[in-house]
Amino acid sequence: MTTLSALLLLLLVLMIIVGGKTGLKSYLSVIINASLIILVALLISWGVNVIAVALVFIPLKLLTIIYLGTHDYVVARNSFLSALVVSLIIIVLIVIIQYFAQTAGFGDQAGEELVGLSLQAGISFPQISIIVAIFSTLGAIAEASVAMSAGLLELKRHDPAINRKQLLKHGNMVGSDILGTAMNTILFGFFGSFLPLFIWYMRLHYSLFEVVNDKLFVGECLIIVYSFIGVLLTVPLSTLLLTNNLSRKDKNKK
């Protein structure tokens, strides 16, 4: 048994112990999402249009993340709708900013490895950078939408008499807590994955001007900004959608 297989097995056992059936579904979600990423890479390498791949696999990834990550249909439906709307907004933002940022392709750090190799791979590097940025933001958006929807729905079930105004108020309070943890998660993930390059900058005595103009650094920072904006949009939108849905149901009962 390889190390990766042992870790995957340990993860499966722990998720079943902690989450039961929901934990098993979440584990399947991780496996399916990893398979989808591999399939996306294969399709792009085979010459399939990058934009078409993104349009097909973005909803698939959101469906997998959200519907397999929660046992409540109402939470899943509201989370998927809000995450999909925010994702579409973020896609437009990513396309515009990536066009002006020009961070696609290889950085200076890959110069030695590319010596003697052709860069004419028949693939659009700007399109690749766009799809990478989009997929990098989906997890944060889906997580925030599920957390908001689950928290507000649980509040409504414990206090059925709560009105729309109070639900929106509590949604803002829950959202502020979620924003703090989500931002820290995104930042720590960025620093953890980017630490070797920071060491590179320090050892080669990069100036601050050189660092903030480095292609790899700017590209990673933009992904962090996209994720931040996605979470910021997801919190109020999830609250608004769920609140309107619950208010509509209360009116129909009357």
Q: Using one digit for the tens of pLDDT, what is the confidence trace for 85-130?
A: 888 888 888 888 888 877 766 656 555 555 555 556 667 777 788 8
Task: Pick left, alpha or beta for residue 20 (phi over 0 → left; psi -120 to 50 → alpha; otherwise beta).
Answer: left
Using the CB atoms, write b or e for 63-83: b if 16+ within 10 Å.
bbbbbbbbebebbbbbbbbbb
Establish if 23 belongs to a structural domain. no
pTM for this model (two decimals)? 0.80
Residue 180 lies in a domain: yes
Residue 106, pLDDT score: 61
Q: Is residue 13 part of a domain?
A: no
In a domain, 18, yes or no: no
> Which pair of structure tokens corresponds to residue 39?
């399939």
pLDDT of 252 reads: 61
- How do residues 143-175 score in pLDDT, each as one tens digit? 888 888 888 887 777 777 777 777 777 777 777
Query: Could you tell me the pLDDT band of residue 19, with boundaries at 50, 70 and 90?
Result: confident
- CATH number (domain holding residue 103): 1.20.1640
The number of domains in the chain is 1
Segment 189-240, tens digit of pLDDT = 777 777 777 787 787 787 777 777 777 777 788 888 888 888 888 888 888 8
Domain membership of residue 189 as a residue range: 49-110+121-253
